[in-house]
Structure 1
Amino acid sequence: MSRPLRQLIAATLLLAAAMAQAASGVPLRLIAINDFHGNLEPANLSLALSDPDDATKTLRVAAGGAPALAGLVRTLRDGTPHSLVLSAGDLFGASPLVSTLFRHDSTVQVMNALGLELDALGNHEFDAGVAELKRVAAGARFPLLSANVFDAASGQPVFAPYVIKRYGGIRVGIIGAVTKSTPGIVVPSGVAGLRFVDEADAVNRAARELKREGVNAIVAVFHEGGEQRGDWNDERCPGARGPIFDIARRLVPEISVIFSAHTHQGYRCVVDGRLIVQGTSYGRGVSVVDVVLDPATRGIDARRTRSINLPVLNERSDPTARERLIAATPALFADALRTAKPDAAVAEQVARYAAEVAPKAQAPVGQITARFTRGAHGNGDSAAGRLIADAQLAATRDSGAQIALMNAGGIRSDLDCNGTPPCTVTYGQLFTMQPFGNSLVLIALSGAQLKALLEAQQRRSDGEPRFLQPSEGFSYTWQADAAAGERVRDLRLNGEPIAPTQRVRITVNSFLAEGGDGFTLLREAGERVGGPQDLDAMLAYFKAHPLLAPSAQPRIVRR
């Protein structure tokens, strides 16, 4: 074949490919995780999904772990010519020992190996402050994004607001933003010198900038979320509510795909023609969104967007449950679930980190008779919350403490009973449950101030209260249908009513003491006395009580 003929054939093939692309568009697969929190190992992670054979029941399956996640991501990428792997924040922070002990460098290195291409920052990435965050970021082969975080002094953005990628000659802008509530849910030192602005305003501003640069295909990634009552793949999203849905309604129309996070929920909602997804947390699920880039408009053809949330099944997943879930999954993605295998290189990497922390993580600290769950079970306080509050009260009683209160958001895992009771509890389990390293602070409140503090647990009339977990001996009634300021009733300490003028000594962690989780009244509390770290208090409690059983008696009576 002559050279001119070869050139003609090559040109013809290129023209045919260009014409085909112009007719069909450029396919792009977006693969997202959120709220990974450094869960490199599967440990006892599991996922409760709708039973494919009976929607009124749930099917719990083992899920997660970086090796299984990496294997599924690789399989999903192999099935499409163009793909992007992203994180919607809280990639690290509030993490198990296998991440925290390495200052989260272990998580970043594993994500490098997995092929992560961007992380839209979450609130927990700020836990140790922006200087430490930038140190961790220096080891990442992916950018950290946030369009709504600024230096309070200079007014300059602290992180890039977006990145621009190119697929089939079409540019795509991906914008990141973190919940504007971050200053209220991170220790003050973590956000010192930073200003967090409205998420929708910041993302719209970035989108307009992208438009001026000629970028019409725009995806938004928010570390903010919501909740709903349906299956995680039910586009109807019954009962959908939360900040992300309010934010979505305010965004410019060019943004048709929204990845969300923060609430650790699974959903795939279409609201006003806009897709909003979240894939639970801890690497147990991934959100997959297949879009088509239109060569004519150079934007996303929203009519052709397809999406699904998929479980990250692992080697511990029950084979029967696995097959039932796969059989109920659309064929294209069922094949990916069936053929995905744990990534051997990532598994070796995680094993090295795990081996280094094993002596500390696996050290026994005590025993339990059953699992301490952190679910409220409709009563406001949980077995895990009661355990932590009791430990904190015991650690500060000699300093005068009468009550201890623990924020539910600071309880990062259940305390599992692995095997036949009595089950051995390890240091690693306690660390995973309380990873922040907060110190205890003893404060003084009047009975009236204590009531006001508890009334502040209800932030929105249509939302669930953020119940502080109470210690033994303290109880009260929560009247849910009462007017604001009148929900907390019959406060009692050791069976005796607490008078409004009565002085009460209360132990909280340092996060709460600085007004964390919106409990700003605690910031003004006086007579402060420092105490031990929260984890040390728990270790001491186990030493004093070598065998512990979950308390089934709620201390908050809900009516």
Structure 2
Amino acid sequence: MRNPHRLLQRALMLAGAAALLAACAGPGSTSAPTGEPVLLRLIAFNDLHGNLESTGLTLPWPDPAQPGKAIRLAAGGAAHLSGTIQALRAGAPHSLVISSGDAIGATPLISALFLHESTVDVMNRIGVDLAIPGNHEFDAGKDELLRVMGGGCRPNKPDALTQSCPLGESGDSRHPGARFPHFVANVVMADGKTLFPPSVVKTVAGVRVGFIGAVTRVTPSIVVPSGVAGLTFTDEADAINAEAARLKAQGIQALVAVIHEGGDTGTPGLPLEWNDAACPNPRGAIFDIAKRLSPDIDVIFSAHTHQGYRCVVDGRPIMQATALGRGVSVADLVIDPRSGDVDRARTTHRNLPVFNERSDAPLRAAITAAEPEPFASTLRAAKPDAAVAERVAAYAQVAAPRAARPVGVIGGAFERVAKSDASAGRLVADAQWRATRDPALGGAQFALMNPGGVRTDLRCARDAAPPCAVTFGEVFTMQPFGNSLVVMTLTGAQLRQMLEDQQRPGRPAPVLLIPSSSLTYRWVARADHGQRVQDLRLAGAPIDPAAEVRFTVNSFLADGGDGFVMLREGRQRLGGELDIDALIAHLKSSPSPDPVPRITWVD
């Protein structure tokens, strides 16, 4: 069998010569198709979530010394992402960089504090060529999305925690917006037009290539309803297929789908192997969508689930590069210049890590050595982008004093560690219930919080005694994900089953969701699955299995996060505000830690 990477290198050399001839024609010229194949490198990243700094970012990587075990590989950061992209672009005569959604929303402070203008600015500097919106782009509503991407400053109120156009004093007086187009085929306005163009067509060496976008159709159920009022999120496959047919009728043969929806592969609990082309145990919405996509689609870039995979289904790759700027997906297309068709047999693709300054040097060298060419050489050549690093540092400097602003008062230390439910989790659950119990805001009877979503304790400063003020930075560190609240309905029986599934068969220990003060029960650790949840009560009264109960979780749980798939069955969903906003509002009431567990643990 001929080595596909040698074929790729030969195509690169041939296409490079063609590109040199085209460059001699001068700026703005469009080279006519020649007989040589056109090589186009597509570089995609997904779910950046405003992670501009590299601090704390890691990838779970298979441990070479212990099969089946994972180690943490430091990865990510905008300067390193940009450097990796530049190295990839240097190895190809034609390339395009794609953001597959959720570039903003659910972000660290360096993005959220500046209304995500900082992230868009950095994406411009990285050289993004085109992007689709993910569900989190709609967190602040359609109008704010259009402003952030279209440009312009928002008025800054004196008491606002956020700041628009933060670097104005250095001459950047106006947020320029995205210098790259957004496209999405399945978000339709009331007048029947799409919010953004359904596709983008790029001409590469005289060949037209079409990119068609879609975002998960469940977006309205996981964002604030008022923010997407008047928008319809249609079936992803139907929208893409309709646009593919339209582009095909224009003679465009090379088609790429960019979909903010995802899935997972492999065995749950085992380390990531994101380049296993055998694609073991594929599951999730993206694979169902792919089965229904037009056979004219040549490549599928996916997102949303923060997983890494590189599958080949029906002869075309389906790829995702985890999330947070820690990796990129690369697909090298070989296109016939006369027909415009992609030669799928010669398409090569790979997921690559974004090494950073904290990456373990021996592990980095081992990973690089194991990569096929030309990707091994690319990883060796990648260097952090100094200009991007300087820009990120400027935003970090402006963020520092704002992070220190007080936002509330606490009457004692809220801690995360506990055998059942912890006081920090109770604080968050109570805040979310308080934010959604009004009938107009969902009519929640209680709230449940996943312990992994509570990232730190909340304490008084070292020299302060309670009651004491807490800062925005401290609260944001406790709740950094920017999840929105979702109110839903289950029956009492479904609720009990979901709580029993906190420790499914085969799981050695439970992951106990932390309830607000209105919900209590006993957890009998030694009992069999199905018998551990006892004396389940709402507002002190036993819950009728047939009764409908209405409660609040964050959007991560609502989508089945942490394995709570039954929450996907929740009915009558209503989106609410962001979790951090609910917590800040609750802190204005000066809460004290509740010493009484809502879950009584019985060994």
Q: Does TM, normalized by the shorter one, top 0.5?
A: yes
Name the counterpart of 2:35. Answer: 22
Pairwise CA distance, 1:136: 1.1
2:330/2:351 contact within 8 Å kept: yes
Q: Distance in 2 between matches of 1:474 and 1:538?
A: 21
The correspondence of residues 488-507 of structure 1 with structure 2, limited to 5 A, is: 490-493=534-537, 498-500=542-544
**What secondary structure, in the 3-state scheme, does the structure 1 residue paired with 2:374 have?**
helix
Which among 571, 575, 582 is matched to residue 520 of structure 1?
A: 571
Query: 1:159 and 2:196 equivalent?
Result: yes
* Counterpart amino acid of residue 313 in structure 1: F
Assess, with a 3 A threshold, how the Cα gap between structure 1 residues 517 and 537 changes in structure 2: closer, same or farther.
farther
Name the counterpart of 1:189. Answer: 226
* Counterpart amino acid of residue 150 in structure 1: V
Pairwise CA distance, 1:242: 0.6
Q: Distance in 2 between matches of 1:383 and 1:214?
A: 62
Query: 1:100 and 2:88 equivalent?
Result: no
Q: Distance in 2 between matches of 1:37 and 1:183?
A: 19
Name the counterpart of 1:388. Answer: 428
Name the counterpart of 1:238. Answer: 280
Q: Distance in 1 between matches of 2:379 and 2:43?
A: 14
**What secondary structure, in the 3-state scheme, does the structure 2 residue paired with 1:249 have?**
helix
Pairwise CA distance, 1:334: 2.1
Name the counterpart of 2:257. Answer: 220
Query: 1:431 and 2:476 equivalent?
Result: yes
* Counterpart amino acid of residue 570 in structure 2: F
Q: Distance in 1 between matches of 2:243 and 2:546?
A: 53
**What secondary structure, in the 3-state scheme, does the structure 2 residue paired with 1:145 have?**
coil
Query: 1:109 and 2:133 equivalent?
Result: no
**What secondary structure, in the 3-state scheme, does the structure 1 residue paired with 2:110 have?**
helix
Query: 1:535 and 2:583 equivalent?
Result: yes
Name the counterpart of 2:341. Answer: 299
RMSD between superposed Cα atoms in Å? 4.9
Pairwise CA distance, 1:187: 1.3
2:215/2:261 contact within 8 Å kept: yes
Assess, with a 3 A threshold, how the Cα gap between structure 1 residues 57 and 415 changes in structure 2: closer, same or farther.
same
Q: Distance in 1 between matches of 2:88 and 2:580?
A: 47
Name the counterpart of 1:349. Answer: 391
Name the counterpart of 1:470. Answer: 515
Assess, with a 3 A threshold, how the Cα gap between structure 1 residues 457 and 168 changes in structure 2: closer, same or farther.
farther
Q: Greater CA deviation, 384-393 or 210-219?
A: 384-393
Assess, with a 3 A threshold, how the Cα gap between structure 1 residues 168 and 384 changes in structure 2: closer, same or farther.
farther
Q: Distance in 1 between matches of 2:355 and 2:287?
A: 29
Assess, with a 3 A threshold, how the Cα gap between structure 1 residues 246 and 282 changes in structure 2: closer, same or farther.
same
**What secondary structure, in the 3-state scheme, does the structure 1 residue paired with 2:214 have?**
strand
Q: TM-score, normalised by structure 1?
A: 0.76
Query: 1:43 and 2:81 equivalent?
Result: no
Pairwise CA distance, 1:435: 5.2
* Counterpart amino acid of residue 134 in structure 1: L
Query: 1:121 and 2:133 equivalent?
Result: yes
Query: 1:62 and 2:66 equivalent?
Result: no
Assess, with a 3 A threshold, how the Cα gap between structure 1 residues 436 and 198 changes in structure 2: closer, same or farther.
same
Question: How many residues are paired up?
Answer: 506
Assess, with a 3 A threshold, how the Cα gap between structure 1 residues 345 and 21 changes in structure 2: closer, same or farther.
same
Q: Distance in 1 between matches of 2:436 and 2:131?
A: 40
Name the counterpart of 1:340. Answer: 382
**Which runs of no fewer than 5 residues in structure 2 stay unpaired?**
1-16, 25-30, 151-176, 267-271, 438-442, 465-469, 502-506, 560-566
The correspondence of residues 216-295 of structure 1 with structure 2, limited to 5 A, is: 216-229=253-266, 231-295=273-337
Q: Distance in 1 between matches of 2:245 and 2:338?
A: 20
Query: 1:176 and 2:218 equivalent?
Result: no
Q: Distance in 1 between matches of 2:436 and 2:224?
A: 22
Q: Deviations over 1:426-476 (max 9, x none)?
A: 7436425355486899x9x9xx954455668999xxxx9x99653477347
2:46/2:303 contact within 8 Å kept: yes
**What secondary structure, in the 3-state scheme, does the structure 1 residue paired with 2:292 have?**
coil
Assess, with a 3 A threshold, how the Cα gap between structure 1 residues 439 and 182 changes in structure 2: closer, same or farther.
closer
Pairwise CA distance, 1:181: 0.9
Query: 1:150 and 2:188 equivalent?
Result: yes
Assess, with a 3 A threshold, how the Cα gap between structure 1 residues 133 and 259 changes in structure 2: closer, same or farther.
same
Name the counterpart of 1:325. Answer: 367
Q: Sequence identity of aligned pairs in percent?
A: 47
**What secondary structure, in the 3-state scheme, does the structure 1 residue paired with 2:305 have?**
coil
Query: 1:361 and 2:399 equivalent?
Result: no
Q: Distance in 2 between matches of 1:394 and 1:194?
A: 28
**What secondary structure, in the 3-state scheme, does the structure 2 residue paired with 1:337 have?**
helix
**What secondary structure, in the 3-state scheme, does the structure 1 residue paired with 2:242 have?**
helix
Higher strand share: 1
Pairwise CA distance, 1:328: 2.1
Q: Distance in 2 between matches of 1:368 and 1:313?
A: 38
Assess, with a 3 A threshold, how the Cα gap between structure 1 residues 163 and 504 changes in structure 2: closer, same or farther.
closer
Assess, with a 3 A threshold, how the Cα gap between structure 1 residues 32 and 429 changes in structure 2: closer, same or farther.
farther
Pairwise CA distance, 1:416: 5.8
Assess, with a 3 A threshold, how the Cα gap between structure 1 residues 426 and 69 changes in structure 2: closer, same or farther.
farther
* Counterpart amino acid of residue 490 in structure 1: Q
**What secondary structure, in the 3-state scheme, does the structure 1 residue paired with 2:217 have?**
coil
Q: Deviations over 1:356-407 (max 9, x none)?
A: 111233679999999879xxx9x9x99986663266579999xxx9974236
1:491/1:497 contact within 8 Å kept: no
* Counterpart amino acid of residue 431 in structure 1: F
Q: Deviations over 1:473-529 (max 9, x none)?
A: 734779xxx9xxx999635249987242999998747989x99976334669xxxxx
**What secondary structure, in the 3-state scheme, does the structure 1 residue paired with 2:398 have?**
helix
**Which runs of no fewer than 5 residues in structure 1 stay unpaired?**
1-9, 525-530
Q: Deviations over 1:310-355 (max 9, x none)?
A: 1111112222322222222224222222221211111111111111
Q: Distance in 1 between matches of 2:417 and 2:256?
A: 40
* Counterpart amino acid of residue 542 in structure 2: I
Assess, with a 3 A threshold, how the Cα gap between structure 1 residues 304 and 522 changes in structure 2: closer, same or farther.
closer
Assess, with a 3 A threshold, how the Cα gap between structure 1 residues 505 and 164 changes in structure 2: closer, same or farther.
closer
Assess, with a 3 A threshold, how the Cα gap between structure 1 residues 193 and 232 changes in structure 2: closer, same or farther.
same
